[in-house]
Amino acid sequence: MAILLRRRLFIFLVSAFFVIRFSCYGATEKEKTLAMMKPDGLYGNYDDQIKKMVLDSGFSILREKRIQLDEHTARIFYAEHSSKSFFPSLVKYMTSGPVLVMVLEKENAVADWRNLIGPTDAEKAKVTHPHSIRALCGVSAERNCVHGSDSIQSALREISFFFVKSLASKWCCFGLLCVIACSTFDETLVGLTYFRPFSNIEDVDRTRHDEL
């Protein structure tokens, strides 16, 4: 009995590794990042132009939703700037109208999206990055039209912030439960063949398009 339990524990641990490796992070090695069109981007009707630039640059838009931020939500999202003098103005600006948040996927998504949107200061972007999104629709360092995650860690946090019921996390948990179930019916690593993890969020989102 003890040997059987050890075998099942071994199967579980190995299986859990593959779940985390493939289901949670994706089998394609493509990064995901959060993109946000700020109120001025939507007020100026730049959304179609921005989406075209996104797609033309090789990104896939996995999820998107248009929302109105309230003061509490804006303060939490930009909490890292809470001690800065511009924080009250930033919160007021971000709650002045709806925003469009998107999950983008591409190899080197974080860096490539930051490069596409240009420098934080839109006035500087017009000079140094004239073909960037902020050069197109931004007017200042604060009213700069779009937001982009500044690191992979920030991207994970920000995607989870806006997409609380993240399908990646949900299906990761489902996959883990599936592996546990499989391991109880098989004493060898053959049990792993019963599990086919979703490779990325997009695979699942095709079945949940109504949420976008």
Task: Write out pLDDT tens, residues 130-168.
Answer: 999 999 999 999 999 999 999 999 999 999 999 975 444
How far apart CA 199 and CA 8 sit, in angstroms, is: 25
Reported residue count of the chain is 212
CA angle 127, 153, 131 (to 5 degrees): 20
Residue (of 206, 192, 196, 190) closest to 174 by Cα position? 196
How far apart CA 20 and CA 176 sit, in angstroms, is: 9
Residue-wise pLDDT for 46-100, tens only, equals: 999 999 999 999 999 999 999 999 999 999 999 999 999 999 999 999 999 999 9
209 is catalytic: no
Domain ranges of the chain: 2-27+167-211, 31-162
Report whether pLDDT(32) > 60. yes
- Which residue out of 72, 81, 131, 147 is catalytically annotated? 147
Q: How far apart are the first and last CA of the chain?
A: 49
185 assigned to a ligand binding site: no
More confident of the two residues 193 and 19: 19
134 assigned to a ligand binding site: yes
38 assigned to a ligand binding site: yes
Class of domain 31-162: alpha beta
114 assigned to a ligand binding site: yes
Percent of the chain with pLDDT over 90: 61
144 assigned to a ligand binding site: yes
How far apart CA 146 and CA 39 sit, in angstroms, is: 9
More confident of the two residues 207 and 144: 144
188 assigned to a ligand binding site: no
More confident of the two residues 126 and 179: 126
Q: How confident is the model at residue 1, as a pLDDT?
A: 62
pTM of the complete model: 0.66
